[in-house]
């Protein structure tokens, strides 16, 4: 089985790229993030022509997650246990955002997650990010009580180590690399998960994200923030894991590349 995760940065804007990649890479399960569409506006008919069912969770022009599967799609769950909301500027109340969706595909339980960015360490979004990660940890712990294989895949907006950014000196005082964010990842691992780290291909570090600005991609000035965590049953079955850097090349691409994991189940 092949599973993958990809922040597409607008599924409609990247639809030709997405369809081409599905045809070429042929994942059995693909977790998507940053759909930027309502769930009922997801281009399900187009991906269905390639054999994929879709479970989507989205509510407009921001956020949004989905699971695509050609090996079955059961027990869909939208949102985390006790998921916190965020009060956007100008809003009267906190509101839950579509950032997590779980499904069982061919006997493998997967969660597609889009962790809040955090924006700035002094911004309310940063504390929201930490609360959200706590809810993810509790949801993972709950899911792990049932039989695996089980994986949490997605855009975590956290670089696990200093080596996972192109120049740690450029991130002084910034989000994505703070001790509290990394501690939240450690707590997630503490539920019984382990990271499935992609093997390096062209470069020593398998970055997954490159800003559109300042020629970051050609210079390989990236970050590794799209991550895969699995339970022991899943990690023991991993036969390969890599970042499909080619999907980031060219015009009209997402600023993220897919992370692909092959399983011998």
Where residue 18 sits, what CATH number does that domain have?
3.60.10.10
Residue 155 designated active-site: yes
Nearest CA to 149 out of 35, 7, 263, 22 is that of 263
Burial class (CB in 10 A: 0-12, 13-18, 19+), 30: buried
Tell whether 176 is in a known binding site: no
Active-site hit among 28, 155, 164, 244:
155
Can you give the residue range of the structural domain that contains 143? 2-263
Tell whether 53 is in a known binding site: no
CA distance 203 to 201: 6
Residue 123 designated active-site: no
- For the chain, the domain total comes to 1
- pLDDT tens-place string over residues 186-216: 999 999 999 999 998 888 899 999 999 999 9
Q: What is the DSSP letter of 136?
A: H
Nearest CA to 71 out of 24, 110, 120, 17 is that of 110
215 backbone φψ class: left, alpha, beta (φ>0; ψ -120 to 50): left
- pLDDT tens-place string over residues 39-75: 999 999 999 999 999 999 999 888 999 999 999 999 9
Tell whether 157 is in a known binding site: yes
CA distance 151 to 4: 11
Which residues of the chain register pLDDT less than 70?
Answer: none
Q: Which two tokens stand for residue 10?
A: 């607008």
| This model's pTM is above 0.85 | yes
Residue 114 designated active-site: yes
Active-site hit among 114, 126, 128, 209:
114
Tell whether 34 is in a known binding site: yes
Tell whether 63 is in a known binding site: no
Write the CB contacts of 211 (distance below 8 Å, at least 6 apart in sequence): 221, 255
């Amino acid at each position: 089985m092949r599973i993958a995760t990809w922040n597409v940065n607008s599924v409609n804007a990247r639809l030709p790229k997405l369809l081409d990649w599905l045809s070429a890479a042929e994942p059995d399960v693909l977790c998507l993030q940053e759909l930027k569409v309502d769930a009922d506006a997801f281009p399900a008919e187009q991906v269905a022509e390639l054999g994929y069912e879709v479970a989507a969770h989205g509510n407009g022009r921001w956020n949004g997650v989905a699971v695509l599967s050609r090996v079955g799609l059961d027990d869909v769950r939208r949102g985390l246990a006790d998921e916190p909301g965020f009060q956007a500027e100008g809003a009267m109340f906190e509101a839950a955002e579509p950032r997590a969706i779980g499904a069982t595909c061919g006997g493998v339980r997967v969660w597609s997650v889009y962790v809040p960015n955090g924006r700035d360490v002094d911004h309310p979004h940063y504390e929201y990010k930490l609360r959200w990660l706590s809810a993810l940890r509790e949801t993972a712990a709950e899911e792990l009580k049932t039989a695996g294989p089980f994986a949490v895949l997605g855009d975590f907006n956290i670089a696990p180590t200093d080596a996972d950014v192109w120049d740690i000196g450029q991130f002084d005082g910034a989000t994505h690399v703070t001790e509290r964010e990394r501690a939240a990842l450690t707590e997630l691992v503490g539920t019984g998960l382990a990271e499935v780290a992609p093997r390096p291909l062209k470069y020593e570090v398998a970055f997954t994200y490159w800003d559109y600005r300042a020629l970051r991609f050609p210079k390989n000035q990236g970050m590794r923030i799209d991550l895969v965590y699995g339970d022991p049953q899943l990690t023991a079955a991993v036969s390969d894991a890599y970042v499909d850097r080619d999907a980031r090349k060219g015009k009209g691409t997402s600023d993220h590349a897919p992370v692909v994991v092959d399983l011998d189940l």
